[in-house]
Amino acid sequence: MSTKVIHALYNDDDILMDAVKETRKAHHHIEEVYTPFPVHGLDKAMGLAPTRLAIASFMYGAVGLAVATWMMNFIMIQDWPQDIGGKPSFSYIENMPAFVPIMFELTVFFAAHLMVITFYMRSKLWPFKQAENPDVRTTDDHFLMEVTVNNNEEELTSFLKNTGAVEIKVVEKH
């Protein structure tokens, strides 16, 4: 099934924000918005759900802390409790201050890297990925709003024209 979408191009982020708000008010479905840089408040205007990346990161950090603790407890305390320079290796807590730098670093390492990988996976980014750019100008100085058409092409075109679009294109999408 092929659907039609309208690409409305803007050349100012303030006009884009107003257009997004009006389009949402008129209950037209915004498929996607392409911008050359982050526009503050755009996600709120579009009504996007907040990200849960921070929560994921916190849990990854907890995993990192657990890995560090388990690893050093096994190596330094359980497996081969040597006397190294008089450090007490009878229990984990007794020698814990010496392990804290590693526990800290591994927590940060896990939290940071796994969060970044999660971000790549969730936003489907990888090397050699085909770019999904509908118009090359959106990476430089134009803003593009993509709105779905439901047998209301005429009306939608004129509506978007009124929101300050500099260019309107009707595109077949596969």
Partner 1 sequence: MAVGLLGIGYGFFDAPKTTEQVEKILEAKHHGHDAHADAHHSKAEGHDHAAHEAEHQEHLEHVLHQLQNKPWAAVYVSALFFMLISLGVLAFYAIQNVAQAGWSPILFRVMQGITAYLPVGSVIFFILLVLSAFHFNHLFVWMDADLINPESPKFDKLIANKSGYLNEYAWLIRAAIFLIGWNLYRYFSRRNCLAQDEASDNTFFKKNFNISAGFLVFFIVTESIMSWDWIMSVDPHWFSTLFGWYVFASFFVSGITVIALTTLYLKSRGYLEHVNTSHIHDLAKFMFGISIFWTYLWFSQFMLIWYSNIPEEVTYFITRIEQYNLPFFGMLAMNFIFPFLILINTDFKRITWILVMAGIVILFGHYIDFFNMIMPATVGDQWFIGAAELGALAFFLGLFIFVVFSALTKSPLVPKRNPFIEESKHFHY
> Which residues contribute to the site for partner 1 (CB under 8 A)?
54, 58, 86, 97-98, 100
- To partner 1, the closest distance from the beta carbon of 90 in angstroms equals 16
Q: Are 143 and 33 in contact (CB under 8 A)?
A: yes
Got the DSSP string for 17-62? HHHHHHHHHTTPPEEEEE-SSPPTTHHHHHTPPPP-HHHHHHHHHH
Q: Which is nearer to partner 1, 42 or 168 (CB)?
A: 42
Shortest gap between Cβ of 105 and partner 1 (angstroms)?
13
Q: Using the minimum distance from each CB to partner 1, give the nearer residue, 13 or 31.
A: 13
Residue 78 is given by DSSP the state I
- Residue 86 or 127 having the CB closest to partner 1: 86
Task: Closer to partner 1 by CB, 38 or 86: give it.
Answer: 86
The least CB distance from residue 152 to partner 1, in Å, is 37
Find out whether 168 and 8 touch, Cβ atoms under 8 Å.
yes
Question: What is the C-alpha separation between 43 and 107, in angstroms, rounded?
Answer: 30
Q: Tell me how far, at minimum, the Cβ of 54 lies from partner 1, in Å.
A: 8
